Chains A and B, each alone.
Chain A
């Protein structure tokens, strides 16, 4: 029996296990939306308020569930609106398939209405971008798209489908893609490299592991734990590696990078063997590469050959999925104890507590602080919530002070640093993990970048708990202006609307808190049920995120503030 290309597109996605789509209809994708109308039992389509929202929602969904996030939008401006989310997914290795409508094939290249070169625009920011011009290519292209998006190092794929291909009728037959001859998603493990890495670890007095998102993407949290425990290796995590280890795991030494913890950064330049596990030595983690772990032998476990020796020259590169390489390494390392080395972290932890954490998280008086709000909400959710952040001070504070008791618990825009990520990503996270509490922290700036998604939350009754840490500034930029631009606060002060009233207009309950005395009660009110909620907390206007490694400084030149 012949079916339309539009129907073939949806059937193909169902074969790939798709049951949730974030989208927005429009001219060139209308045939597919028309077909979707008959699939309401099988596919939950969530209408966002902007295509950027659809992409971030798909990211949030993918990050918590491990499934491929799917977006369905039209051509032209819809596709360009989706670009930010696609780029974000590329930098953060998030599996996502974005389907964009396109003008009919005969109109291609003519500057037709809402025609734009989507493949051309998206090629640099996708794992694969492909234009489908005839219906018979749909099943093949969708199969390939999902295979590419979820295999190896995951990432976004764009399928640009012309309108005529959606109308055309074809005999439909679906065959999943399991092999592309020009693409090896998981490199074979080179046993000699594993052996070399094991020898380095066995000879180490001060081994130290850096944990990245590769552990989470390959579902290797348990393998990581076994590895670290066997040789008693302290470990720290990158922003996207957060929650790969539980916060109370005894070898979890904290957060790396520009606003990470003191000890994890300083110890990078004291260890004798550095074991990077599924992380990519981002500049926000390494600071000055000329003064980064120069004393250490470096082992790098990663799935992507292009990451090896990209930023840091490696002594033992171990290519492959962490799921295979880490157990192979665990098998070859000797049980060990590094008590003295591990205890040496403590003096830095104590210093950080005294200089920074005590004031930020447990202030006895003065204005409310970002850190205390985050800590209280982490406690109120028994450290078991998914935390989603926007970008800036709220993000760094959440990464520092929220605690995790299960994996896939921090959803944040790491590589691209996209303000406006928070609200839509939180929606997607809640849809992807409906049984979990989802708390989203944003600043007053980022919240207003995608504030329109409150409409989606209202319509779909998505029970996200939104917290605005309101300092009436673009806080992180203001912090830099204070530190590096002589307090010239160029366009960072914000006059804000009544956020609670806006939420109210969307039929979302909310509360504004200005005093410490009202905070606990407001948090309890927010968490009393599973409905969406907006909590606006006025925090100190000139709060600072410390510690800080200024751009270009070495990881052991970490500033503690006042």
Chain B
């Protein structure tokens, strides 16, 4: 079966050890996590994990079910890129001296829609948000021209395009079980 990039979204209670419970499911199947991002969700007390991995649909289905099975997981599902609006953010630190030697950097700023977050006589920090390929392209350009002192890219964050809000639906559906 064809491998591709899947994005798994997990909503969980904010309890100790949840990340461990999720990652061991990947470990058991020897799956690499490509990116991971965790933060409080829109609902108080509920955390949201966004995990990407390269695998087959068959495997991602099983992984999601096994995550969903853990007691403190509220909802887990997966999507492919077509179903998502997604974004990553990257920071690039370059030497000011080398940058100045280039002359103008206006085109860069325009072409890559990047921002400067910090600048002093030693270094400049650029920020760029975008898809992986976009942040990567800027990284390559900087590396080849002035060199990059430090580089960091966040895990993916994503929002589904679907009209169905699965967490809200789940929370609504489960109300009838509460006596």
Interface residues, chain A, with chain B CB atoms under 8 Å away: 119-120, 123-124, 127-129, 131, 148, 178-184, 304-306, 308-310
Contacts and interface: CB of A to CB of B under 8 A. Distances in A.
Contact of A306 (B20, B66, B74, B178): B66
A112 B177 CA distance: 43
16 contacts: A124-B28, A127-B71, A128-B71, A178-B179, A181-B174, A182-B12, A182-B13, A182-B71, A182-B72, A184-B174, A304-B69, A305-B69, A306-B65, A306-B68, A308-B65, A309-B61
A310 B59 CA distance: 9
A123 B73 contact: no
Given A179-B178, A182-B12, A182-B13, A123 B20 contact: yes
A310 B20 CA distance: 23
A308 to B, nearest CB: 8
Interface of B: 12-13, 16-17, 20-21, 24, 28, 61-62, 65-66, 68-69, 71-74, 171, 174, 177-179
B73 A182 contact: yes
A149 to B, nearest CB: 11
5 smallest beta-carbon distances between A and B, as pairs: A306-B65, A182-B74, A128-B71, A179-B178, A306-B69
A305 B67 CA distance: 11
Contact of A181 (B62, B66, B74): B74
A179 B171 CA distance: 13
A18 B28 CA distance: 35
Contacts of A305: 65, 68-69
A148 B71 CA distance: 8
A168 B96 CA distance: 60
A181 B178 contact: yes
Contacts of A129: 17
Contacts of B74: 181-182
Given A129-B17, A182-B73, 19 more contacts: A120-B20, A123-B17, A123-B20, A123-B24, A124-B24, A127-B71, A148-B71, A179-B179, A181-B74, A181-B174, A182-B72, A304-B69, A305-B65, A305-B68, A306-B65, A306-B66, A306-B68, A309-B61, A310-B62
A119 B21 CA distance: 10
Of the candidates B65, B68, B71, B74, the one having the most CB atoms from chain A within 10 angstroms of its own CB is: B71
Contact of B17 (A119, A178, A180, A306): A119
Contacts, number: 46
Given A123-B21, A123-B24, A180 B71 contact: yes
Nearest to A186: B177
Nearest to A153: B69
A127 B21 CA distance: 11
A365 B20 CA distance: 59
A65 to B, nearest CB: 24
Contacts of A304: 69
B62 A184 contact: no
A304 B65 CA distance: 9
Nearest to A311: B62
A247 B74 CA distance: 43
Contacts of A128: 71
Nearest to A313: B58
Contacts of A310: 62, 65
A178 B61 CA distance: 29
A182 B12 CA distance: 8
Nearest to A119: B17
Contacts of B61: 309
A196 B13 CA distance: 36
Nearest to A124: B24
Contacts of B66: 306
Contacts of B20: 120, 123
Contacts of A178: 179
Contacts of B65: 305-306, 308, 310
Contacts of B72: 182
B175 to A, nearest CB: 9
A127 B72 CA distance: 10
Contacts of A308: 65
A184 B16 CA distance: 21
A189 to B, nearest CB: 14
Nearest to B174: A181
Of the candidates A120, A123, A179, A182, the one having the most CB atoms from chain B within 10 angstroms of its own CB is: A182
Contacts of A180: 71
Contacts of B68: 305-306
A385 B13 CA distance: 46
Contacts of B13: 182
A147 to B, nearest CB: 10
A280 to B, nearest CB: 13
B54 to A, nearest CB: 21
A151 to B, nearest CB: 11
B69 A184 contact: no
A179 B177 CA distance: 7
A183 B71 contact: yes
Nearest to A178: B179
A120 to B, nearest CB: 7
A119 B73 CA distance: 17
B115 to A, nearest CB: 39
A440 B17 CA distance: 40
Nearest to A180: B71
A124 to B, nearest CB: 5
Nearest to B15: A130
A232 to B, nearest CB: 34
Nearest to B65: A306
A305 B68 CA distance: 9
B15 to A, nearest CB: 9
Contacts of B178: 179, 181
A537 to B, nearest CB: 41
Contacts of B24: 123-124
Nearest to B178: A179
A131 B21 CA distance: 14
A181 B71 contact: no
Contacts of B62: 306, 309-310
A67 to B, nearest CB: 21
Nearest to B72: A182
A184 B178 CA distance: 11
Nearest to A308: B65
Nearest to B67: A306
B166 to A, nearest CB: 14
A308 B65 CA distance: 9
A307 to B, nearest CB: 9
A179 B174 CA distance: 10
Contacts of B16: 131
A308 B64 CA distance: 12
A324 B122 CA distance: 71
A180 B15 CA distance: 13
Nearest to B64: A306
